[in-house]
Chains A and B, each alone.
Chain A
């Protein structure tokens, strides 16, 4: 269980440039599905076009529609800004970049290189999970990325945190056994007693068209709490 959790450690954090100037919040994270089937974090998405869809399926798309309508003359209205993942220097209480903020964020063009697909972390979080060994209402609660910040390794998606509940409601209590205060930890752990970790690989199929993740029988489910 090394690496870090994209929703817990990356999403909604403050982005800070090399000199400590504030840039934006991480409104969403861009994941790229490479031809070999691996899923890699490639960019931090910023701005309302990245944030609004995260307000939920219906409310989010309604808000984005209204936002686009309010500036319908602009071709790039629905495109979020992107900060390439290579520019991330360190991930702590904020996301530190190795460059200055001036002229940094550019709109993410709609064209995609051949053979790859671009996903968003926000689409993955909250996706239904179909698995015989998990409660029916299970969803994707978090996405685990490999490596540590300031790394040579690629930020590869290595696993999913799945179970009933809402993304973000674990508050990090799945990560550290001794995280206090005890009273809150007991309540959160009790509410999330069915939460499991699963490694991405054979037997775990992320179907974006059907908006669900299918886990075959026999794939090991790791208890987290």
Chain B
């Protein structure tokens, strides 16, 4: 019974934890401009994060090594450092965006400017990272994040013409007013939002935090292969809501309020309250995950003690990194930068940075020295190599598309 409960809890928190500020904003924007014609990218991205997370989760369970340990072991100190710099910058950017997202959610609630709220949010995030137990962070915020299911309910309540909506699923249904370059740019952004590197840093380090062993591989797989795709369904629902409400009017999404607006249209005040709770939980949870991931990657490159499974004083360096990162993120938000814009940049750079961490994981997942009998089978390798190609293409295309389309405006 306890085991089933663990699986259920893991799946639920994986669903609630899957969606973060990047998914919220990018899916709503893509839905408002392209309807459901980009859903195939979300499906591709969700399957990709499943493949990537399953491999690194398996490595963490069997060998107790998390992602960045392996990056340095396989790429050496030079390439590893370059990789650390790239991945940590993207994760830090996402950290800023998530804290900003929490502040925006609270602004919706209180009408107090997010610039002011951000400081208090950052302080709260730091206290949680310092004091709260790892499993409480994951479970409480993951379960609260399930409030975002309200997007699926809202889509159903909006009562769209389902045959028309599902006919948009083909890429050929791209609205004629939009160019293919912008379409491709949003494709890369959606892919980056679904496959954010921090998700894997966090997932594999979390496996070490929770002392997984090879016995836990089954539970881990259930979390990944049920939780992430169901989280992906929420992404599609967010895009669907935006497609129904905004696309016919030609309105583009530029604020977090607009992301939640279709829910208010469909379900009224109650819906709005639930969606703001969902925003808060999803972004706060992701803020904790990204903050920890900054510390994880730096510690795993350098070798000093990390993790919430030891007392803070035994991992003092790790906690100093968390504190410094939180202060810096608050400082950036105090400049009044728009968190939505930070989000847009962070998802594109996520796509850019992915191959560097993906490749070493794929190689190690095949190595019997680490995994013994649990190394990649044929299916994992076929998918693994397929995604190596997809990720590389997305990475190469990211910056040129960003420049050509001026961040999707063109």
Contacts A12-B72, A184-B385 given; indicate if A23 touches B363 (C-beta within 8 A).
no
Does A171 contact B74, Cβ atoms closer than 8 Å?
yes
Does B384 contact A12, Cβ atoms closer than 8 Å?
no
Q: Mark A176-197, 1 if CB is under 8 A from B, else 0.
A: 1001111110000000000000
Q: In the complex, what distance in Å separates the CA atom of A171 from the CA atom of B369?
A: 12
B167 interface contact, C-beta 8 A: no
Partner pick for A22 among B301, B305, B363, B368, CB 8 A cutoff: B305
Size range of the chain A interface in the assembly: 20 to 34
Nearest-neighbour CB distance to chain B for A125, whole angstroms, equals 9
**Which B residues lie within 8 Å of A92 (CB)?**
63, 369
Within 8 A of B (CB), among A132-179: 167-168, 171-172, 176, 179
The stretch among A31-39, A50-58, A69-77, A207-215 that forms the contact with chain B is: A50-58
**Which A residues lie within 8 Å of B381 (CB)?**
180-182
B40 interface contact, C-beta 8 A: no
Contacts A15-B303, A22-B305, A94-B64 given; indicate if A181 touches B376 (C-beta within 8 A).
yes
Q: In the complex, what distance in Å separates the CA atom of A214 from the CA atom of B74?
A: 28
Does B310 contact A21, Cβ atoms closer than 8 Å?
yes
Q: Is the interface of B mostly helix, strand, loop or mixed?
A: helix
Q: In the complex, what distance in Å separates the CA atom of A168 from the CA atom of B310?
A: 33
Contacts A12-B72, A93-B64, A94-B65 given; indicate if A54 touches B303 (C-beta within 8 A).
no
Within 8 A of A (CB), among B344-369: 362-363, 366-369
A118 interface contact, C-beta 8 A: no
Within 8 A of B (CB), among A1-52: 9, 11-15, 21-25, 27, 46, 51
Nearest-neighbour CB distance to chain B for A175, whole angstroms, equals 9
Does A181 contact B384, Cβ atoms closer than 8 Å?
yes
Q: In the complex, what distance in Å separates the CA atom of A130 from the CA atom of B81?
A: 31
**Which B residues lie within 8 Å of A54 (CB)?**
76-78
Q: Mark B74-99, 1 if CB is under 8 A from A, else 0.
A: 11111011000000000000000000
Does A180 contact B366, Cβ atoms closer than 8 Å?
yes
Does A184 contact B362, Cβ atoms closer than 8 Å?
yes
Please give me the residue from chain B that is nearest to A28 by CB atom: B77
Q: In the complex, what distance in Å separates the CA atom of A21 from the CA atom of B376?
A: 29
Q: In the complex, what distance in Å separates the CA atom of A51 from the CA atom of B140?
A: 41
Q: Hey, which bits of chain B sit against chain A, CB under 8 A? A: 63-65, 69, 72-78, 80-81, 299-306, 310, 314, 362-363, 366-370, 375-376, 381-382, 384-385, 388
Q: List 16 A-B contacts (CB under 8 A).
A: A15-B303, A22-B305, A24-B303, A25-B301, A46-B303, A51-B77, A54-B77, A92-B63, A167-B76, A168-B76, A172-B367, A180-B366, A180-B381, A181-B376, A181-B381, A181-B385
Q: Hey, which bits of chain A sit against chain B, CB under 8 A? A: 9, 11-15, 21-25, 27, 46, 51, 54-56, 92-94, 167-168, 171-172, 176, 179-184
